[in-house]
Amino acid sequence: MKLISKIILIIVSCLILIGITIITAYNINIGAVDKKNKNTINFEVTENSTYSNLGDELYKAGLIKSKTFYKIYVKLNKPSNLQKGIYALNKSMSLKEIINSLGKGSTYNPYIVSITIKEGYNIRKIASIIDEKTDNSYDDVMNKITDKKYINTLINKYWFLSTDITNADIYYPLEGYLFPETYQISSKNTVEEIFEILLNQMDKILTKYKTDIQNSSYTINQIVTLASIIELEAGNANDRAGVAGVFYNRIKGNWSLGSDVTTYYANKIDDFKHSLTKTELNSCNNKYNTRCSTYKGLPVGPISNPSEESLKAAINPTSHNYYYFVADGSGKTYLNTNSTGHNNTITKLKKENNWCA
C-alpha cells in the first residue's frame, strides 16, 4: 500500500509539475513579444481573414511568440467580431490586447496624406501634386482626365458639369472644377477617387450659388472660366467683384479681354516670369488666347481652379462703367474707364513705390 501511495504521489506531483509548466509556458507565449518595443507595426485584416488563419500573419509580423499557443488561445477564448481594417499594433502588446483590438475595429489609416491644391493651380500642377503624394503617376492623372468615357460619366453625375467641357479645343475637361483646398486623402486612392473628393467639394461650394447661376445669362462653364481668370489676374486685389465687372463690361462691349494669363495658359507656360513673345501673344487660332486683338469674349474654358471668392465675384459682379483695373501693393483696386486713366494710375503707383506688377 505504501508503495502504491508513493507511486500515486509521484504521478500526481508530476502531473502538477507538468500542469504548472504548461500554464507557465502558455502565459509566457501569449505575453508580449517585447514589452519595451512600442514601435508601430501596420497589420491588415482583410475580408477573408478569420481568427483561425491570422496566426501565421501575426507571427510573420513578429507580434506573437508562437503560432501553436495562438491557436490554443483562440480555441479556449473563442473570440468574435473580427473587424476588417488596418491596425496600429506593436510588440509590447499581449495576445489578449491584440485580439481585443482586432475585435473593436480600427479607423487607423497609415496611408493618409495631406494634399494642398492652392487657388489658381491648373491641372498640370495638380497632377504633379497627386504624383508626389500618392501611388498615382502624373501620366495616370492626365490619361484619366482626357478619358472621354470617364468624363461623360461625371457629366451625368454632377449638375455643374456640362457638355461644354467636352469641346475639342479644351485642353483638360475638368480644369476649373477641382476645388482648391487642403484635403486628407489616402495615398492608395485612385485618380477617380481623388477627383471625386475634389468635385464633391466643388459641388458643395457651387450649390450655395445655384439659384444665381441658373438665373444668369451666362453658362456655368462661362462663369467658372471667368472666375479662373479673375483668380490669376486679380492677384491680391480686394475688390474681385469690381474686377469681374470690368471683364463683363469688356465682354458686353465686344472687347478683347486682353488677359496675359490666358496667353500663358494657351501656350502651356506655367512660369509667369517668362516674357511672352510676339508669336505667343499673337497666336489667334488658339481658343484660350484673349490677348489676340481679334479674339472677343471669354476663352473656350477655365485656365485655373478658382477660389470661392473668385467664383462668387464671377456670379455676382459689381455693376459699373469701368473697363480697366489695377491693384496696388496692399490689394486696393483702382478702376478706370479708359487706357489713359489706367496708365496714369500705374505711373502714380510706381512713383509711390506701391506698384504690384
Reported as a single tens digit per residue, the pLDDT across 82-116 is: 988 899 999 999 999 999 999 988 888 899 999 99
> 3-state DSSP call for residue 169?
coil
- 79 and 161 both lie in a single domain: no
Residue 3 lies in a domain: no
The torsion angles phi and psi of 115, rounded to 5 degrees, stand at -120, 135
What lies within 8 Å, CB to CB, of 56 at 6+ separation is 67
- Residue 123: predicted pLDDT: 97
The answer to whether residues 63 and 175 belong to one domain is no
DSSP state of 289: -
pTM of the model: 0.80
Residues 224, 311 within the same domain:
yes
Give the per-residue pLDDT at 278. 87
Query: Which grid cell is 86?
Result: 488596418
Residue at 21 is within a domain: no
Q: Are residues 218 and 342 in the same domain?
A: yes
Contacts (Cβ under 8 Å, ≥6 apart) of 67: 55, 56, 59
CATH of the domain at 50: 3.30.1490.480
Domain contains 122: yes
Report d(CA 177, CA 170) in Å as an integer. Answer: 13
Domain boundary among 207, 223, 245: 207
Flag whether 23 is in a domain: no
Shared domain check, 296 and 185: no
Residue that the C-alpha cell 509590447 belongs to: 92
Residue 185 placed within a domain: yes
Q: Are residues 269 and 155 in the same domain?
A: no
Give the count of domains, the chain.
3
Q: Give all strands (DSSP E) within the chain, no chain letters.
A: 41-45, 85-89, 112-116, 182-186, 324-327, 333-336
Cα–Cα distance for residue pair 91/114, rounded to 1 Å: 29
Q: Is 263 in the same domain as 223?
A: yes
pLDDT value of position 282: 84
Q: Whose CA is closest to 195, among 124, 130, 133, 131?
A: 130
| Domain boundary pick from 207, 230, 261 | 207
Contact 245, 320 (CB under 8 A): yes
Q: Does 143 fall in a domain?
A: yes
Residues 237 and 327 in one domain: yes
Which segments of the chain have a pLDDT < 70? Answer: 1-3, 5, 9, 13, 356-357
Is 270 within the bounds of a domain? yes
The verdict on 132 and 170 lying in the same domain is yes
Domain limits at 333?
210-351
pLDDT at 1: 61
106 in the same domain as 69: yes
Q: Using alpha carbons only, give the angle 34, 39, 41 rounded to the nearest 5 degrees.
A: 95
Domain's final residue, options 110, 137, 168: 110
Give the SS3 label for residue 328: strand
Residue 71, phi then psi, degrees to nearest 5: -65, -40
Residue with cell string 444665381: 212
**Per the domain annotation, does 16 fall within a domain?**
no
